[in-house]
Structure 1
């Protein structure tokens, strides 16, 4: 603990309570899960898993030092997905975590409190409602200067994919290769961070862009193509559903993970199977499955699913959701809408009438 404090950048930080993560786990951690089968088609394994796995998770964060921060990762006993790793980070009053770095990026959405990042020696302030980027190969730690209130963030990161691709360097400040005499003196890390990348903002403030009506409903993008935030592998958005209303009904290939911030309601999921003949044909389930959710729950929408979301509460339902952006690069960027959100159709009709 004392050794870690000496690595801080200022006298202010040496007075902080430092949460040091252990280097070892009680049992082996599964970073990437094997995909195996005795047959070429994996459809049966997929169907069995989807029929057996609950798609709503009730989170239990707690309110102390030993918070239950885990949500979804590949090593779960009930395996859902390894496209994203989803978890909470809590920073206790006047606290920070220990300095570390990893090759995978991480997207933070600040749920409560305020604080700042130290990224490669630079400070980036954040507050509730902001989206924060931890870029690839970034040495960082998270700080909470509030002496009375903790800060809580939702972390969405494509860590399993990064590790599957061999981007496995991660460690605490002070790590060096063994057998120092075998290596040249250290030099700049030149195989990442393309020209101009350092100029892209690391914090996307809550007030930076407005919510807008679209086919899926009332949403605000916080990470994705065109969003000025230094995030490459994760798309994320906020969604508000008015009381008594519903989202659009859409079909897309990426799976999705959403934290319910406020309200209650349910999802309808129409699973999609494939029929392979002269080309791929979709076979959409005649009947959907229904998944009830409330504030604090996490919804998992599997890959290749038609989804529609309903608000059954008296107030606005608020959610934050994320998916892995690599699907877009692989050719699965298209979204098909069977039905638009009713308010969007009303706004379009109004716009047409005014022309």
Structure 2
């Protein structure tokens, strides 16, 4: 855990030179695989969600040391049987992948039920609370792009209650007037049964959220990737960084650093030798921005990842993935882009 007092919501970047090579080098040198021994934030400082029964702990966040990323934050929520957490609200979205159990949400006074393998969206500006009324523990994996909202000044959050200095303000108005029209019609819960497996250059993929679908998220793209035992994924290059949670299986990931050669234009120079990163079930694997990566499943059982990326990269003009090698099971053309 960082020695910084208070919770870090947004990390600054400073340098004595215009180039930021040293910042990127420190980021690339940080260990990319984290397991249950890593709790970078136990939600005891500047958090509003936990009750006496629920538990929240963070795996990746902007205050981490060593630092990986703040384009995605990763934490877990655990609800023992017949418990709930505190109701609270924040302007940023959150995407919950249900690892175990079942339960329901109350978002803006509406109920949304969920179960294992669902993806649940806490929408922008939602007052929300998580409930487990059943006899089994519920455990959720949460992906957030919270720092993105903080950078833009969208930081009005906290537990339910009246505004300070209430006499200074007029009557209540409907906050949702500012939302994208018809956004309330989008899905808040993506059921596993409503998705399907796709054969892609990366491998066998089940998409949970992506641009252009009817899921109520604007910040996180999520999917499930399955690699047969003893096989490998495609070898792909894209600009967005990525967090992959190892749901089952084990193996390793090879990462090739990409350097920027600034000449008459930008050129990419891919390292000859990759770094190797071993993982096991329950680990999170981090793939840095602008990295070539390929994942390998050990013999014995299939390797299953839950993957998340910050969608903002696509909106900034980096909406392509280049495949330098396809997954063996894919029979499409080589050198594909998606």
TM-score under structure 1 normalisation?
0.86
Answer yes or no: is 1:37 the counterpart of 2:25.
no
Report the counterpart of residue 54 of structure 1 in structure 2: 31
Report the counterpart of residue 6 of structure 2 in structure 1: 28
Q: Secondary structure at the match of 1:344?
A: coil
How far does residue 85 in structure 1 lie from its aligned partner after superposition?
Answer: 1.2
CA deviations over 1:20-66 (Å, ceiling 9, x no partner)? xxxxxx93111111100000010232123312x0010012599x958
Answer yes or no: is 1:276 the counterpart of 2:288.
no
CA deviations over 1:188-211 (Å, ceiling 9, x no partner)? 104532221111111000111211
Q: Secondary structure at the match of 1:342?
A: coil
Is contact 1:61-1:68 (8 Å) kept?
no
CA deviations over 1:96-128 (Å, ceiling 9, x no partner)? 111111000000000000000101111010000
Is contact 1:260-1:297 (8 Å) kept?
yes
Give the direction of change, closer, same or farther, for the CA distance of 1:264–1:39 in structure 2 (3 Å limit): same
User: Which is worse superposed, 91-100 or 245-254?
Assistant: 91-100
Report the counterpart of residue 248 of structure 1 in structure 2: 234
Answer yes or no: is 1:165 the counterpart of 2:142.
no
CA deviations over 1:310-355 (Å, ceiling 9, x no partner)? 001311111101010000000011111100001002xx48xxxxxx
Equivalents in 1 of 2:95, 2:23: separation in Å?
31
Report the counterpart of residue 46 of structure 2 in structure 1: none
Answer yes or no: is 1:106 the counterpart of 2:94.
yes
Is contact 1:60-1:68 (8 Å) kept?
no
Is contact 2:90-2:157 (8 Å) kept?
yes
Give the direction of change, closer, same or farther, for the CA distance of 1:193–1:116 in structure 2 (3 Å limit): same
Quick one: which of 96, 121, 128 aligns to 2:116? 128
Quick one: which of 75, 78, 95 aligns to 2:63? 75
Quick one: which of 187, 210, 220 aligns to 1:224? 210
Equivalents in 2 of 1:265, 1:191: separation in Å?
48
Equivalents in 1 of 2:270, 2:130: separation in Å?
44
Equivalents in 2 of 1:54, 1:179: separation in Å?
47
Determine which structure has more spread, i.e. the larger CA radius of gyration: 1
Is contact 2:54-2:83 (8 Å) kept?
no
Answer yes or no: is 1:118 the counterpart of 2:106.
yes
- Cα RMSD (Å) of the superposition? 1.9
Quick one: which of 189, 202, 207 aligns to 2:188? 202
Is contact 2:54-2:78 (8 Å) kept?
no
Report the counterpart of residue 85 of structure 2 in structure 1: 97
Q: Secondary structure at the match of 1:207?
A: helix
Report the counterpart of residue 295 of structure 1 in structure 2: 281
TM-score under structure 2 normalisation?
0.91
Moved over 3 A (4+): 64-68
